Structure 1
Amino acid sequence: MASGLVALLDDVAGIAKIAAASIDDMSAAAGKAGSKAVGVVVDDAAVTPGYAMGFTPDRELPIVFKIAMGSLRNKFFFLLPGALLLSAFAPWGVTPLLMMGGAYLCFEATEKIIEAFTHHDPVDEPEELALSSADLEKEKVSGAIRTDLILSGEIMAIALADVADRPLAVQAGALALVGLAITIGVYGVVGLIVKMDDIGLHLAERRSRLMAGLGRGLVHGMPKVMELLTVVGTAAMLWVGGGIIVHGLEHFHLETVPHLVEGVSHWASAVPGIGAVTGWVAMAMGSAVVGLLIGAPIVAVMHFWPGKKAAH
């Protein structure tokens, strides 16, 4: 009886060790996979605050919370099962899917750059202006969740490509951890960003000169922070999208463009003392140039050709 109990305890301990090793595997895979998606995460954090702006302060955090819940639904109900099915039955489709997502990022970043240089500011549609506050909030949340679906899809595809050679259970755990961690991180930062001006106003009312000065600095500085986030998000989309295209071309043995980008990076890495930094910057800039070359024709097709067709 005792020996049977000892054997059972040994089995339980063995199962616990296997489970712990699996969790370690998932955590390591999630960390590696999540780091590759940093550019898309930056863009997600830069884009989302705009959906909560323009509402009364008491609605800002509830809107961010609704978008975060929609993001989790996107990841766990649609993207995670889809990614696992793709990995199980069509692993050859991961790289083309990544390249399609990369091309979309290049298109969106190039479109933003063109709009910035042409000083084109999107105006509110008449239908939007006629909506009630509740309906407008519902529409903004729906729009943010649709945008999140695209960005989250790219994050999950990048993460999947990095763990595609692992067992399916490890892939599932890693993707779940990446999805949860990125959602909490992104929307935590977004919530802080949208409330930063309110925090500044609260501090500005303090009697302490230091706190009041800090509060005024936050109030006046947040528009600049938002502009900087937009620039950083656009740059991140461009270099990540271009980098995905470059790696995809290399995967299909189309070596000319990857060799050119890697050659520039290798040359820049020779700078004494800061070679690692200059090499990375050169790689990012080379990928961004590829992103522009990919994004510009897509912008032309998506905007100019349909417009001419409609005019005729």
Structure 2
Amino acid sequence: MSQNAAVSEPIVPENANEHCPGPESEMAGKADNCEGCPNKKICESAPKGPDPDLGEISEKLKHVRHKILVLSGKGGVGKSTFAAQLSFILSDDETKNVGLLDVDITGPSIPTVTGCADMIVHETASGWTPVYVRDNLAVMSIGFLLESSDKAVIWRGPRKNGMIKQFLKDVDWADLGDEETGAQGLDYLIVDTPPGTTDEHLSIATYLRESGIDGAVLITTPQEVALQDVRKEIDFCRKAKINIIGLVENMATFICPHCEHSNPIFKPTTGGAAALCSELNIPFLGSLPLDPRIGKSCDYGVPFVESHPESPAAQAYLEIVKEIQNRL
């Protein structure tokens, strides 16, 4: 279990007053300190005390050995692509069971990039059965529950949070297991999150508090506008007591698929991700080049490393995944 599993303090919203009693307190929204807080009405009307479902979630996920969040401060930096490729690479080891959970409720792209967009989720007596991409790789996303891929999910925070809780509480990962040994569950649960520090992030951190989160892998691109946003994500992780496994710099250079010549696309003005990691004392996991074939692999839902194993980008992916495994 992660070192974070024992943390019991409530996760206080980013914009809360300095002396916030916490959203789980009986005085939430009622204390003198709550006057003027933008969250006052929400906290006042929300259920008080510990969430009774946390124990059920912890029980459901007790056979998950490692839980990894994939985060980004900014959209469009390749977070979902990385989460999918990470899951593919980890599942290349047939002795390991991998689950990929998409909690980007309003922009679910994981079904497409894993090649299972047309599949549906079945409900059984033990819960929702996830979609199987491989015998040892299962995927769950709200994308499987929509009538059409063009259908917009126009939900407020509470309904999104409820769906995330249902994913954690009701999805049955137990079918992934070793028939010979009887061992069931997941070796890795990869959680793909939306950009930023939103309701979904607070929810996933809260719901996984008892069962423990091994850590977060942060994704950025080299330019300063992306680095500014990932700083906020780092701050969120520290306030929510989520261990930072490391930072990945995506689209660092452009690799020509024909001659493999390298050119910078987003030339860093402040030293890029490596300099940021040095400044903030977090691990730098490595850089991934921009290869057009990665996008094509995602469009067709096939593992990039299997399609182009000799490419520099594939080698970079393998090295970064190995570093993540080492840090677990």
TM-score range, shorter chain: under 0.3
Specify the structure having the higher radius of gyration (Cα).
1
Greater share of residues in helix? 1
TM-score (norm 1): 0.23
> With CA pairs under 8 Å and 6+ residues apart, which has the higher RCO, 1 or 2?
1
